[in-house]
Amino acid sequence: MVKIYTKKGDDGTTSLWYGGRVPKDSPRTEAYGTLDEACSALGVARALCAGPQGSQELAADILRLQDDLFVAGAELATAPEAAERLEDGVSRVTAEMVDWAEGLIDRYMAEVDLPPKFVIPGGNQLSAQLDVARTVIRRAERRISAIAEAGELADPTIIHFVNRASDLAFAMARWADVDDPELFAGRERS
C-alpha cells in the first residue's frame, strides 16, 4: 500500500518544488492552492459535459485549461531562485499558452450574444459551474498579483495567462448558457 501522508506538513509548512519550505498560508501557497481549487471546479464543469447539456469539444477545451492551470500551479510552487529548472509548457507558463487561450476566447465569443448588462450566473448547471471556476481563477489572479507586487515572480507571463484563463471560463460559460439543453447538446463550434 502506498501511503500518501508524509507528516512533514504537520508543522504548518509545505515543500516547494526543487526545494525550500514555506508556511501553508504563504501567498505562494495560497496562489497555487487557489489554482488547484479552480481545476477542481473546472472538473465538475467537465463532468457536466457528459450530461444532457454536454459537448465533447467543450469538455476537451476544459481539460486543456485544467492542464494549463496545473502548469501555472507548478510554476507558483517553485521558488523564484529555482525558476531556471522549470520546463516551458510543463512547469512554466508560456506566451503560446496565453495565445491559445485568447484564440479560444475569440472562438467561443464569436457565437455568443452578450446581454447589455451584467450576466447573472445560473442559466443552467454547466454555465453556472463554469462561472464558479471563473471566480476562483480570478481569486488566484489576485493572489498571484500580490506575489508579483512583492517581487517574487520569476516571470509575469503567468499573470497574463491566468487573466486569460478567467476570461476563457467566462466565454465558455456564456457559450454553454443556453435556454434549450437539447439545442446545446447538438451544437459544436464552427
CA 92 remoteness from chain centre: 14
CA distances from 149 to 43, 153, 156, 159, 187 (A): 30, 9, 11, 11, 43
Average pLDDT over the chain, rounded to whole? 88
Looking at residue 169, its pLDDT comes to 98
Looking at residue 181, its pLDDT comes to 47
Cα Rg, the chain, nearest whole Å: 18
Looking at residue 73, its pLDDT comes to 96
CA 72 remoteness from chain centre: 8
pLDDT, block means (10 residues), the chain with 190 residues: 78 75 85 97 94 78 98 93 90 97 96 82 92 98 96 93 98 82 47
Domain boundaries, the chain: 24-109+122-180
Q: Of 58, 63, 55, which Cα lies nearest the Cα of 181?
A: 55
pLDDT tens-digit readout, 1-38: 888 877 767 777 777 777 787 878 889 999 999 999 99
For the chain, the farthest-separated pair of C-alpha atoms sits apart, in whole angstroms, at: 57
Looking at domain 24-109+122-180, its CATH architecture is Up-down Bundle (1.20)
Looking at residue 16, its pLDDT comes to 74
Question: DSSP letter at 184?
Answer: H
Looking at residue 54, its pLDDT comes to 64
